[in-house]
Amino acid sequence: MVDKILHEFVKECGYPRALDMFEKISSGKKLRSKLILKIAGQNEISLRLCAVIELIHLASLLHDDVIDDSTIRRGKPSINALYGSKNSIMLGDILYSKGYYEIVSLDPQIAKIISKAVLDLSIGEMMDVDLGSKFSPNLDEYLKMIELKTAVLIEASAKSAAIIAGIDSDSYANYGRNLGLAFQIVDDILDISADETTLGKPAFSDYKEGKTTLPYIFLYNALNLDDKEILKSLWGKELDENQTKWIKGKFDEFNIVYKCKEFAKELGYKAIASVSDEGLKEIVSSMIDREF
Question: How many other C-beta atoms are found inside a 10 Å radius of the C-beta of residue 24?
Answer: 14
Angle (nearest 5°) at CA 121 between 116 and 124: 130
Per-residue model confidence (pLDDT) at position 140? 97
The per-residue pLDDT string of the chain (292 residues; one tens digit each, 9 = 90 and over) reads 999 999 999 999 999 999 999 999 977 889 999 999 999 999 999 999 999 999 999 999 999 999 988 888 877 899 999 999 999 999 999 999 999 999 999 999 999 999 999 999 999 999 999 999 999 999 999 999 999 999 999 999 999 999 999 999 999 999 999 999 999 999 999 999 987 666 666 778 889 889 999 999 999 999 999 999 999 999 999 999 999 999 999 999 999 999 999 999 999 999 999 999 888 998 998 888 876 6
Backbone angles phi, psi at 134, to 5 degrees: -160, 160
Where b means 16+ CB within 10 Å and e means fewer, 151-160 reads: bbbbbbbbbb
Q: What backbone phi and psi angles, to 5 degrees, belong to 105? A: -85, -5
Q: Give me the pLDDT at residue 58, please.
A: 96
Residue type, 146: I
The count of other CB atoms within 10 Å of the CB of residue 193 is: 19
pLDDT at 200: 66
Global confidence as pTM: 0.93
Residue 186, judged by CB atoms within 10 A of its CB (0-12, 13-18, 19+), counts as buried
Is the separation of the CB atoms in 155 and 191 below 8 Å? no
8-state DSSP, 26: P
- Residue 168 has phi, psi (to 5 degrees) of -60, 105
Q: What is the pLDDT of residue 268?
A: 95
Q: Can you tell me whether residue 73 is helix, strand or coil?
A: strand
Please state, in angstroms and as integers, the Cα–Cα distance from residue 80 to each residue in 18, 67, 72, following that order: 13, 10, 9
Residue/partner pairs of 63-68 with CB below 8 Å, 24 or more apart: 63/88, 63/89, 63/92, 63/125, 64/125, 67/125, 67/128, 67/129, 68/209
Chain Cα centroid distance, residue 218: 21
> Do the beta carbons of residue 281 and residue 268 sit within 8 Å?
no
Cβ partners under 8 Å of residue 217, min gap 6: 137, 138, 139, 142
Length of the chain: 292
Other CB atoms within 10 Å distance of the CB of residue 53:
26
